[in-house]
Chain A
Amino acid sequence: MADVVLATYGITKTFGSLVACDDVSINVRAGEIHAIIGPNGAGKSTLISQICGTLIPDQGRVELMGQDITALSGRARALAGLGRTFQISQLAMEDTVLQNVILGGVGATRRQWHFIQPILSHHDLREQAEAVLERVGLIDDRHRQTAILSHGQKRQLEVAIALMLKPKIFIMDEPMAGLGLEGSKQLTMLLDDLRHQAPILLVEHDMDAVFTLADHISVLDYGKVIASDDVDAIRNDPVVRDAYLGKDS
Chain B
Amino acid sequence: MISERMINIILIGLLVIIPAWAYLADEPFTITLMTRAVIFALAAVGLNLALGVGGFVSFGHAAFFGLGGYVMGVLAWHAQSYTPFLEWPFLIEGTQSMPVIWVIAVILSALLALVIGVVSLKTTGVYFIMITLAFAQMMYYFSISWSAYGGEDGLSIYVRNSFPGLNTLDPIQFYSICFIILMAVLALMARLVKSPYGLALNAARQSPKRVEAVGLDLHQLQLLAFVISGAITGLAGALFADLNRFVSPNMFSWQLSGEFIVFIIIGGVGRLFGPVIGALVFVGLEHFLGEINDYWHIYLGLILLLIVLFSKTGVMGLLVKKEAHHG
Q: How far is the CB of A203 from chain B (nearest CB, A)?
A: 15
Map CB proximity to B onto A89-114 as digits: 1 under 8 Å, 0 otherwise. 01111111011101110111001111
List, in ascending order, chain B residues with CB within 8 A of A64's CB: none
Residue in A74, A113, A119 whose CB lies within 8 Å of B199: A119
Measured CB to CB, the nearest residue on chain A to B195 is A115
List, in ascending order, chain B residues with CB within 8 A of A151's CB: none
List, in ascending order, chain B residues with CB within 8 A of A145's CB: 325
Residue among B195, B196, B212 with max Cβ neighbours from chain A (10 Å): B196
List, in ascending order, chain B residues with CB within 8 A of A76's CB: 215
Among all A-B residue pairs, the 9 with the closest Cβ atoms? A107-B215, A78-B215, A90-B210, A79-B215, A92-B206, A92-B203, A118-B194, A107-B216, A111-B196
Check A108–B206 contact: CB distance below 8 A: no
Measured CB to CB, the nearest residue on chain B to A145 is B325
Residue among A94, A115, A116, A161 with max Cβ neighbours from chain B (10 Å): A115
Measured CB to CB, the nearest residue on chain A to B213 is A84
List, in ascending order, chain A residues with CB within 8 A of B199's CB: 95, 99, 102-103, 106, 119
Check A144–B325 contact: CB distance below 8 A: yes
Q: Which residues of B contact A (CB under 8 A)?
A: 191-192, 194-200, 202-203, 206-207, 209-217, 221, 324-327
- Bound Cα distance from A98 to B327, whole angstroms: 8
- Bound Cα distance from A52 to B207, whole angstroms: 17
List, in ascending order, chain A residues with CB within 8 A of B212's CB: 74-75, 78
List, in ascending order, chain B residues with CB within 8 A of A113's CB: 197
In the complex, number of A-B residue pairs with CB atoms less than 8 Å apart: 108
Check A92–B207 contact: CB distance below 8 A: yes
Q: How far is the CB of A92 from chain B (nearest CB, A)?
A: 4
Which chain A residues numbered 132 to 172 have a C-beta less than 8 Å away from chain B? 142-145, 161, 164-165
Dominant SS at the B interface? helix
A117 in the interface (beta carbon within 8 A): yes
List, in ascending order, chain B residues with CB within 8 A of A118's CB: 191, 194-195
Q: How far is the CB of B317 from chain A (nearest CB, A)?
A: 13
A189 in the interface (beta carbon within 8 A): no
Given contacts A94-B206, A99-B199, A111-B196, contact A164 B191 (CB under 8 A): no
- Bound Cα distance from A113 to B217, whole angstroms: 11
- Bound Cα distance from A122 to B327, whole angstroms: 12
List, in ascending order, chain B residues with CB within 8 A of A9's CB: none
Q: How far is the CB of A57 from chain B (nearest CB, A)?
A: 19
- Bound Cα distance from A111 to B198, whole angstroms: 11
Given contacts A115-B197, A142-B327, A144-B325, contact A106 B206 (CB under 8 A): no
Measured CB to CB, the nearest residue on chain A to B198 is A119
- Bound Cα distance from A78 to B221, whole angstroms: 17
Q: Which residues of A contact B (CB under 8 A)?
A: 52, 74-76, 78-79, 84, 86, 90-96, 98-100, 102-104, 106-108, 111-120, 122, 142-145, 161, 164-165
List, in ascending order, chain B residues with CB within 8 A of A164's CB: 214
Check B215–A91 contact: CB distance below 8 A: no
List, in ascending order, chain A residues with CB within 8 A of B326's CB: 143
- Bound Cα distance from A197 to B311, whole angstroms: 47
- Bound Cα distance from A84 to B209, whole angstroms: 11
Check A117–B195 contact: CB distance below 8 A: yes
Q: How far is the CB of B28 from chain A (nearest CB, A)?
A: 38
List, in ascending order, chain B residues with CB within 8 A of A91's CB: 206-207, 210
List, in ascending order, chain B residues with CB within 8 A of A122's CB: 196
User: What are 7 A-B pairs at a CB distance below 8 A?
Assistant: A84-B213, A96-B327, A103-B203, A108-B214, A117-B196, A119-B199, A120-B194
Given contacts A90-B210, A103-B200, contact A115 B191 (CB under 8 A): yes
Check A93–B192 contact: CB distance below 8 A: no
- Bound Cα distance from A74 to B215, whole angstroms: 8
Check A108–B215 contact: CB distance below 8 A: yes
- Bound Cα distance from A143 to B325, whole angstroms: 6
List, in ascending order, chain A residues with CB within 8 A of B192's CB: 115-116
- Bound Cα distance from A227 to B286, whole angstroms: 73
Measured CB to CB, the nearest residue on chain A to B221 is A112
Q: How far is the CB of B52 from chain A (nearest CB, A)?
A: 12
Check B210–A103 contact: CB distance below 8 A: yes
Given contacts A111-B196, A119-B195, contact A92 B202 (CB under 8 A): yes
Measured CB to CB, the nearest residue on chain B to A94 is B206
- Bound Cα distance from A120 to B327, whole angstroms: 7
Check B214–A104 contact: CB distance below 8 A: yes
Residue in A84, A90, A96, A119 whose CB lies within 8 Å of B196: A119
List, in ascending order, chain A residues with CB within 8 A of B217's CB: 75, 112
